[in-house]
Amino acid sequence: MKRKFLKFLKICAIVLLSLFVLLSILPYLLPVNQQKVDFKNPPFAESKFMSIDGKRWHYRQFEPSDSIRGTMVLLHGFSGSTFSWRKNQQVFADSGYQVISVDLPAFGFSEKDKNAFDHSSSAHAANIWKLLDNIGLGKENIIVFGHSMGAGVAWDMAGLKPEKTTAVYLVDGAGSMGKNSKRSIGANIMAFVFKYPPLLRWVDVIAGAYYFKQHKFENLLASAYGQKVDKEAAAGYLRPFMLKNSGSAVIEGFLYSKKGPEIDYRKIKCPVYLIWGTNDKWVPLSVGESFIKKFPSAKLKKFDGAGHCPMETDEKEFNSYVLESTAKKTLNE
């Protein structure tokens, strides 16, 4: 009986080991998106690339035709890119602002290589200030925009350099008002598990085969917009995800977010504007209302009937509100 049991355990061990080896090798035999950024043919006419601490950042720079009224920095949300601001950035530039829209690493055409890169909002904020300094625009009069996930980065930018930030716009997203929280035990375990390369390779295989598809992005955007979405918009969002390591880079973005420096948000004295769609199903209006309770000097602008992306679905009203509010701020100064 004992021999039979030991033989059974041996067979189980062999089966499990064989399965482990198979699952470790198989993802490298399956096709994945292998496109790389073509630096000779940038994705947009305004595209520029910069290396910050050894990591590639993609941004777009829109020059004003007349005198510069200030610099606007536009930061996208989760699964977004500079494409998310396609209906705003040129309008702001035409109104006299230097406009810099940035792809946060793991998204758009910024860094997607596999590495333990710090994806915390404070780290991104500090790196964007470096980017601005490197192109000679980080001295003063910086107006920062953050949509959804990007709102946390925008808020940290203002917290890190309050003396240089003249206004903050948080679009359907709000920054943290407290101390940076420690990463959970579960996140630490996941970070350890995903250090095994075949698991990240599986993410790229599965994401490329099932999720990075035109119809999937049409459904995703329809949910975010709260209305039907045109194929051009879905294709624009999908395009950066066809690059190598897109799926695994997103996973690493969750796993490698370190506890950043403590930021005293009370030092933020510039005008703070919240823009929110009343029909936002992704980040409900109540989040913005809670933020106002903690930061009562902020102004909350509601876009009736809009979803999670009012800068895209209600661009005329959005652009008008931004330009009117910045003009009032300038007059008051």
Reported pTM = 0.91
Task: Count Cβ atoms below 10 Å from residue 261 Cβ, excluding itself.
Answer: 12
In angstroms, the CA 173 to CA 162 distance is 19
Neighbour order of strands in the sheet with 55-62: 47-52, 55-62, 97-103, 70-75, 142-147, 165-171, 272-277, 299-303
In angstroms, the CA 274 to CA 289 distance is 9
Write down the pLDDT at residue 263. 87
Write down the pLDDT at residue 262. 78
Residue 151 contacts residue 170 (beta carbons within 8 Å): yes
Residue 98 contacts residue 104 (beta carbons within 8 Å): no
Write down the pLDDT at residue 331. 41
Residue 168 contacts residue 150 (beta carbons within 8 Å): no
What the chain holds in terms of domains, given with CATH numbers, is 47-175+265-332 (3.40.50.1820)
Q: Which two tokens stand for residue 138?
A: 């980080």
Write down the pLDDT at residue 5. 61
Write down the pLDDT at residue 75. 98
Reading the chain (333 residues) residue by residue, the pLDDT tens digits are: 667 666 666 777 777 777 767 667 877 777 887 788 888 889 999 999 999 988 899 999 999 877 678 999 999 999 999 999 999 999 999 999 999 999 999 999 998 877 667 888 999 999 999 999 999 987 778 999 999 999 999 999 999 999 999 999 999 998 775 444 555 666 667 667 677 878 888 888 888 888 899 999 999 999 999 999 999 999 999 999 999 999 888 888 777 777 667 788 989 999 999 999 999 999 999 999 999 998 989 999 999 999 999 999 999 999 999 999 987 655 444
Write down the pLDDT at residue 285. 96
Q: Which two tokens stand for residue 317?
A: 């009203």
Report the C-alpha dihedral over residues 59, 143, 126, 118, rounded to 10 degrees.
Answer: -60
Write down the pLDDT at residue 312. 98
Q: Is 329 exposed, middle or buried (0-12, 13-18, 19+ CB in 10 A)?
A: middle
Residue 143 contacts residue 166 (beta carbons within 8 Å): yes
